[in-house]
Amino acid sequence: MSFGLMMASRSEVRRVVREALREDLGRGDLTSLLTVEATAHARGEFLAKAEGVMAGGYVVAECLRQTEETGVVKDLVQEGREFCVGEVLGRVEGSARGLLAAERTALNFLQRLCGVATLTRQFAEAVEGTGAKIVDTRKTTPGLRALEKAAVIAGGGRNHRFALYDGILIKDNHIRLAGGLSVAVARARVGAPATLKVEVETATLAEVEEALTAGADIIMLDNMDPDAMREAVGMIGGRALVEASGGVNLENVRSIAETGVDLISVGRLTHSAPAIDISLELEALQQPAVVDGQ
């Protein structure tokens, strides 16, 4: 199992944006087609109406690329940089109809991804100095996992496994269906690629001991209180990485980190992050006059 960087590939960004635009535009932006001249040009600014952390500027650029081939996106705030209320996060210029067609989809992505990055930053700052790392989970919006995990990175967190195919995490249902924790770990050990670590979810100190004996590389402490976590960390004694999970919030994450765990997985980074309020303010842009004969 890897806890490195997971960034959205260009092809994935294109696919996600294409589907989002198809969902919103359908056969076309009827309002703009009826009210805005085909030759009209405009420029605009993405304005932050709340403070936050930047994430998803590259998705905004792709939204414009797919709706307005001659459009320009510039002055995008760097991914991972904090911004304040009233700050311009980026500027756009191009066909008025093209900008209007991209507006809502671009804002939906930007507000969502900035929200994920902002919440992640709050968690990361809450555990500074403890040695514990904040990691995400698979509790992502269907179809947006790559983008949301990239936003976690922008916020200062780390990615857990990306999907079921690239990590081994034996949870309570696996244990029950396999016939026991030790049996599940033994089977995983036999079939797992040498590069993948085996992680086991535990809920009691007895299960922690069993996971250690079975040879787990990572032991997840699921919904344990801080005292039990501290005792588990002492039992493990560096023989495996220790992950805390379940019920983590900004009020208790510091106390969890101070138990000595290595990783703290936080599902709410991607399933409950509030969107950051951002608007796109457009204005008409006069076209240069055409000179006869030129």
Active site residues: 104, 139, 171, 201, 222
CA–CA separation, 188 vs 180, rounded Å? 12
* Contact (Cβ atoms closer than 8 angstroms) between residue 294 and residue 60: no
Rg (CA), the chain: 24
CA–CA separation, 103 vs 27, rounded Å? 16
User: Residue 115: enclosing H or E segment and its boundaries?
Assistant: helix 96-126
CA distances from 186 to 100, 163, 190 (A): 57, 22, 6
Exposed (0-12), middle (13-18) or buried (19+): which is 4, by Cβ within 10 Å?
Answer: exposed
Q: Which residue has the tokens 């081994």?
A: 168
